[in-house]
Structure 1
């Protein structure tokens, strides 16, 4: 298998500013922020945290992002529940969505095609 490990954590929040300050207090540094309540924080060489603000009436979800080094070599095992095959994202990567046996969503992220 070509999974390198946890690349990042995608977190939805009800208050972007408060959540960003919280992670910065833990030692994460703001890599970039958007003008629509989202941004990426990094802590040394560990996994990134991507925060995105959602409306207060929407459940704030957590999603793990696993790094796939070679999409072509990755062959999903029959035990994986694949929800979406690899597809291009608007931010330059390719992603596949799978669900684990307990219902958690895992985002497999591969480099974008050149």
Structure 2
């Protein structure tokens, strides 16, 4: 089994409120917000944006999360270095990390079998 495209874009920010307003002005709707300055936005059927506020002294990377339908059926192949295998997350998915030939880390996200798809982040 292979990946199925981009599942989400994970964005770290120094200002949660300004970031939400920025994306809302670009047509995204806030699907949910946490009590720790993070949340998920969506625009149509495309990938979700998950935005999380971090301290001002941290960098603010942007990360693409690739979709996997079934973590148990996924086989990375010999050209993919698995940094961390699929593990359950606190937000209702299973997440793995792989490294590409240039050293970039990629997250792979699959639904947990005990969670409905709508609960994914």
TM-score range relative to shorter protein:
over 0.9
Structure with greater strand percent? 1
User: In structure 2, how many angstroms separate the alpha carbons of the residues matched to 1:2 and 1:80?
Assistant: 12
| Structure-1-length-normalised TM-score | 0.94
| Structure-2-length-normalised TM-score | 0.89
Runs of 4+ in 1 over 3 A off after TM superposition: none
**What is aligned with 2:35?**
35
User: More deviation in 18-27 or 104-113?
Assistant: 104-113
Aligned length: 114
**What is aligned with 1:102?**
102
Which structure 1 segments of 5+ residues have no match?
none
User: In structure 1, how many angstroms separate the alpha carbons of the residues matched to 2:3 and 2:107?
Assistant: 11
User: In structure 1, how many angstroms separate the alpha carbons of the residues matched to 2:72 and 2:30?
Assistant: 32
User: In structure 1, how many angstroms separate the alpha carbons of the residues matched to 2:62 and 2:81?
Assistant: 18
Which structure 2 segments of 5+ residues have no match?
115-121
**What is aligned with 2:49?**
49
User: In structure 2, how many angstroms separate the alpha carbons of the residues matched to 1:8 and 1:79?
Assistant: 23
